[in-house]
Amino acid sequence: MSVLRLSKLHATGNDFLVLADLESRFGPAGTPALAPEGRAALCDRRRGVGADGLIRILPGSEGTDCTMELTNADGGLAETSGNGLRCLAHAAARLGLGRGDRLVVDTAAGRREILLVRRPDTGEVTAAEVDMGPVTFTPADIPLDAADAFDLEAVVDGVHYRGDAAGTGNPHFVFLVEDPDAVPLERHGPILETDARFPRRTNVEMVTPVPGGLRMRVWERGVGETASCGSGACAAAAVAYRRGLVPARGHVTVLGGELVVEVGATVRLGGPVAHVFDVEVDLDRVVESARGSPGARGVPDVRVVR
């Protein structure tokens, strides 16, 4: 039996399971000890605990407070997540990591600094602002197999889309549309995610300018449509700012709430974060349940501890 203690948090509805592994119980980041099948099973909303992704907090090095290993709901490793970093910041603060209201985190997309906002009475983190690093439009850095990142066309079911590609440490395909709600994202999202020009697949954002910012729906690579995507909001804001459609600092309204994005030499992402619960779960039982094994006994044992 392999019992894990996990925290579930969400940032504007984008939810993550966070596993503190400061002793590297499952090995360094990217090792197969916590197998993709197990990661996907934990994120399964019907047979596991349920989340858009799994974050493992590993020890820091060379001046960082910790390292983030991020897994999408399909079990595949991902580079970074703005909302995930805010969830990590909440969990890290509970573990006593960081220096005051500042946390420095290594990710697969580079080093990130997070500023924390706390409740004055309890010290609990309620919001966080992440320096997401620079947004790139250089095809090789996104990565993108095209001459340039701008005015790319895609046709799905006879619908013509036009947008720009951008990299925020992970790839994005940002489309300007009249009404994001009118886009059949559940059908078109999986096709656009696997556009052959993106060798690592891509996140997909459908956005429209509104006073003071943008309104956005997002299809996340390896997850599906989510209530929010922090790195997607940064990519969308950078695309819209480059086109002169939004101010350098503005809001991005998503299904799960509102984010604040500031475009400059780097892009800063701010927004709320909330703790949902802590659980203890038998990983072997979760995997058995996700497989639909004959011996699986319905939803695996999940004990809410806080």
Q: What is the pLDDT of residue 87?
A: 98
Helix 82-94, helix 230-242: angle, nearest 10: 140
Q: What is the pLDDT of residue 26?
A: 79
Q: Tokens representing 300?
A: 């695996």
Q: How many CA atoms lie within 13 A of 79 on its CB side?
A: 24
pLDDT one digit per residue (tens) for the chain, 306 residues: 478 999 999 999 999 999 999 988 877 776 666 889 999 999 999 999 999 999 999 999 889 999 999 999 999 999 999 999 999 999 999 999 998 999 999 999 999 999 999 999 999 999 999 999 999 999 999 999 999 999 999 999 999 999 999 999 999 999 999 999 999 999 999 999 999 999 999 999 999 999 999 999 999 999 999 999 999 999 999 999 999 999 999 999 999 999 999 999 999 999 999 999 999 999 998 889 888 755 544 445 566 666
3-state SS string for 107-133: ECCEEEEEEEEECCCCCCEEEEEEECC
pTM, two decimals, is 0.92
Contacts by 243-247 with C-beta closer than 8 Å and gap 24+?
Answer: 243/176, 245/176, 245/209, 246/209, 246/212, 246/213, 246/214, 247/212, 247/213
> What topology is assigned to 3-133+273-304 in CATH?
Diaminopimelate Epimerase; Chain A, domain 1 (3.10.310)
Q: What is the pLDDT of residue 57?
A: 96
Stated as kind and residue range, the H or E segment containing 280 is: strand 274-282
Which one, of 185, 222, 187, 186, lies nearest residue 203 by Cα? 222
| Residue 271 near residue 12, CB atoms below 8 Å | yes
What residues does each domain of the chain span?
3-133+273-304, 139-265
Q: What is the pLDDT of residue 35?
A: 87
The label of the residue with tokens 């886009």 reads: 183
**Torsion sign (Cα): 288, 291, 295, 300:** positive
* Same fold? 3-133+273-304, 139-265: yes
Q: What is the pLDDT of residue 297?
A: 47
Q: What's phi and psi for 139, nearest 5 deg?
A: -50, -45
CATH class for the domain made up of 139-265? alpha beta
